Amino acid sequence: MPDIHYVALSDLHFGAATSLLTNLAVASDQIDASQPSPVLVNLVECLRRLIEHNDDQTRKPTLVLHGDLLELALADDHDAAMSFERFIDLIMDHDRELFDQIIFIPGNHDHHLWETARESQYVDYIKAQKPWGAPWESPWHTTRMFSDPVRSYFLTALVQRRPNLKNLTIQTYYPNFGLLSPDRKRCVVFHHGHFVETIYLLMSHLKTMLFHGSSIPAEIWNLEAENFAWIDFFWSTLGRSSAVGQGVSRIYEKLQNEEQFKQLLANLAESLAKQYGLSGKWADFVEAKALEKAMDLVYDSISALERNQPDRPLSKDAEQGLYGYMDGLKNQKTSQGQVMGPLPNQMADEKLTAKDVDHFTFVFGHTHKPFEANRNFRSFPNWVQVYNSGGWVVDTVERQKLHGGAVILIDENLETTSLRMYNESEVLGDYEVKVQTATHAGDFPGPFHQKIAKIVDNAASPWKDFSQAVARGISVRSQNLKTRIYSAV
């Protein structure tokens, strides 16, 4: 029978008060990172139960953490790091380690960990250059997807504090990590998912507006090089901005309520008019209204973010972005003049032609809305299995039925299945773990999926315990979020 060789998780957002995996003090919205959250404890118990059913107990699986592991934009670094440590305590306890290797793919909320890793690597590269005065290569902004990862300086330092993990190195791939079968006919690629949204390509789009004849890069290394500073600034470092970062976090939460957020923007517009406008009440009023109109446009732009589109698995923007990542955007060409998306372009650069892969699977997160689907992309000869791993954050006060978290499981033959751990619901009885796969109607799921489906029993522990814990966790964080939204900034 097939065994679990890879376990993939994304959007854990350790350190965020809205994360189900960050522990909160009793009857409080304050973080208590000295203990793991109840949801985290039960999630790890579910993973342990699954891995115990591997026929080969001498080989431990690899853990793939594909983005937004730590919340660095809207939380303090120490809360994020300590919450991650509680995770490591559970999955890598002495003599009970679940995994033999941990691979990390940074996302937008922990993009700064990639900057730390790549800069540390570049320093090591410079130190090794001999003789003195020899020319250096330009700093690189990505890794190869199938080889040559970069050591995660920050995460490795954290885990090696445990005596039993002093030799464990957490390897980083960015922005893509790939698995390839020995015959090169089956391939799985992991990506966080932020490059399927237009807002994370903002600098590239601005370039096309400012410079005639320019286009969105088709090469992933150029795409990252143009946008890394924007992603790193706004989406990955605000949490360390002390009181300013906390204020931005509160503003971000008020985005969940249109009335509250627009009132915040109206107050800002009025304040700006009084501070910098023309003299006289009438002039202030006119300028305030003009600024308020501009702020409305800001709201409309930000509210279009993927996680604020609760009624469909992918918004129109993200749907177009996914196809762009695979097949390329209009007039987006490689340096050889081919129309090709950044992902197959990187594959080709690493001597793997997408047309030669018979079975391709793409796994991403970022949206906090898990799904499984078959998609037809021009760059690939057969249907592509697409899995979204969802997320572990309560983004809204009202329950959103498409929001939820999943664990992506992969066996030695690169067969993939999704362990849908939960979807939000107002009904307690709706919370149960489901095993789902990306197949066409009428197709039979593979042996790996069937094996996992037999293990999950929602009437027994640990599955029942997990569902109860996640239902309670969502209720608490939803109420906390509501309180923060309607309180003053």
pLDDT tens track for 375-425: 999 999 999 999 999 999 999 989 999 999 999 999 999 999 999 999 999
Condensed to tens digits (0 to 9), the pLDDT of residues 142-184 reads 999 999 999 999 999 999 999 999 999 999 999 999 999 999 9
Q: Which residues pair with 388 in a beta bridge?
A: 364, 371
Shared domain check, 284 and 399? no
Closest CA to 111 of 102, 119, 100: 119
Which helix (H) or strand (E) covers residue 63, if one does?
Answer: strand 62-65
Q: Are 105 and 191 in contact (CB under 8 A)?
A: yes
Question: Are 55 and 181 within one domain?
Answer: yes
Instruction: Name the token pair of 203.
Output: 């600098």
Mean pLDDT (the chain, rounded): 87
- Strands in 384-388's sheet, in edge-to-edge order, are 176-180, 186-191, 359-364, 384-388, 371-375
Quote the CA–CA distance of 362 and 187 in Å, as a whole number: 9
Q: Taking the C-alpha atoms of 440, 441, 447 and 449 in order, what is their torsion angle to the nearest 10 degrees?
A: 80
**Domain presence at residue 129:** yes
pLDDT for 330 beyond 80: no
- The residue ranking higher by pLDDT, 237 or 400, is 400
Among residues 167, 28, 47, which one has the least CA distance to residue 96? Answer: 47
**Does some domain include residue 324?**
no
Instruction: Look at residue 273 and tell me if it is in a domain.
Output: yes
Interstrand relation of 384-388 and 62-65 (parallel, antiparallel or unpaired): unpaired
CB 304 within 8 A of CB 286: no
For residues 119 and 263, membership in a common domain is answered with: no
Quickly state the pLDDT bin for 329 (edges 50, 70, 90).
confident
Q: Which band of pLDDT confidence, cut at 50, 70 and 90, is reported for residue 332?
A: low
* Number of domains composing the chain: 2
Please give the Cα distance from 348 to 468 (Å, whole number): 46
Q: Which of 270, 302, 334 is the last residue of a domain?
A: 302
Q: Please check whether residue 4 is in contact with residue 52, taking contact to mean a CB–CB distance below 8 angstroms.
A: no
Do 221 and 296 sit in the same domain of this protein?
no
Q: What would the pLDDT profile of 42-56 be if each residue is shown by its tens digit?
A: 999 999 999 999 999
CA 262 to chain centre: 28
Contacts of 415 (CB under 8 A, 6+ apart): 2, 446, 447, 448, 449
Strands (E), 108-245: 150-151, 171-172, 176-180, 186-191
Distance in angstroms (rounded) separating the CA atoms of residues 391 and 389: 7
Which pLDDT score, from 0 to 100, does residue 278 have? 46
Closest CA to 341 of 469, 193, 170, 223: 223
**Of 211 and 465, the one with more pLDDT:** 465
Within a domain: 249? no
Q: Where are the alpha helices (DSSP H) in 136-257?
A: 153-159, 202-210, 220-236, 242-254
Residues near 432 by Cβ (< 8 Å), separated by ≥ 6? 458, 463, 467
- Check residue 312 and give its pLDDT: 87
Q: How far apart are CA 180 and CA 377, in angstroms?
A: 19
pLDDT at position 446, please? 92
Tokens 């440590």 -> residue: 85
DSSP 8-state secondary structure symbol assigned to residue 257: S
Does residue 277 form part of some domain? yes
Residue 52's pLDDT is 97
Residue where a domain terminates, one of 302, 328, 358: 302
Q: Which residues contact 128 (CB under 8 A, 6 or more apart)?
A: none
Asked whether residue 168 falls in the same domain as residue 285, the answer is no
109 and 167 inside one domain: yes
pLDDT band at 270 (very low <50, low <70, confident <90, very high): low
Stated length of the chain: 489
- 183 and 273 co-located in one domain: no
| pLDDT class of 289 with cuts at 50, 70, 90 | low
Which residue among 247, 281, 302 closes a domain?
302
Average pLDDT (425-435) is 94
Decide if 326 is inside a domain: no
Please check whether residue 334 lies inside any domain of the structure.
no
Do residues 217 and 366 share a domain? yes
Indicate if the pLDDT at residue 279 is higher than 50.
Answer: no
Residue 11 covered by a domain: yes
Over its C-alpha atoms, the chain yields an Rg (Å, rounded) of 23
Query: Which tens digits make up the pLDDT trace of 10-42?
Result: 999 999 999 999 999 998 889 999 999 999 999
DSSP state of 444: P
Q: Which residues pair with 436 in a beta bridge?
A: 418
Residues 101 and 144 in one domain: yes
Please state, for a pLDDT cut of 90, what percent of the chain lies above it: 66
Q: Decide which of 85 and 244 is more confident.
A: 85
> What residues contact residue 6 under an 8 Å CB cut-off, 6+ apart?
61, 62, 63, 64, 179, 188, 408, 409, 410
Domain match, 96 and 212 both: yes
Lowest mean pLDDT among 117-131, 201-215, 353-367: 201-215
How much of the chain is helix, strand and coil, in % rounded to 5? 45, 15, 45
Do residue 89 and residue 150 come from a single domain?
A: yes
Structure tokens at 39: 């949801």
Which pLDDT score, from 0 to 100, does residue 275 have? 56
- Does the pLDDT of residue 266 top 90, yes or no? no
Domain ranges, residue 283: 256-302
| Mean pLDDT value of segment 334-362 | 87
pLDDT of residue 439: 85
- Amino acid 271: pLDDT: 57
Whether 298 has a pLDDT exceeding 80, the answer reads no
CB-CB neighbours of 449 under 10 Å? 22
Is residue 257 scored above 60 in pLDDT? no
For the ranges 270-284, 418-432, 458-472, the lowest mean pLDDT is seen at 270-284
Residue range 49-71: mean pLDDT, rounded: 97
Which residues, other chains included, contact 49 with Cβ-Cβ below 8 Å and sequence gap of 6+? 455, 462
Mark whether 140 and 8 lie in a shared domain: yes
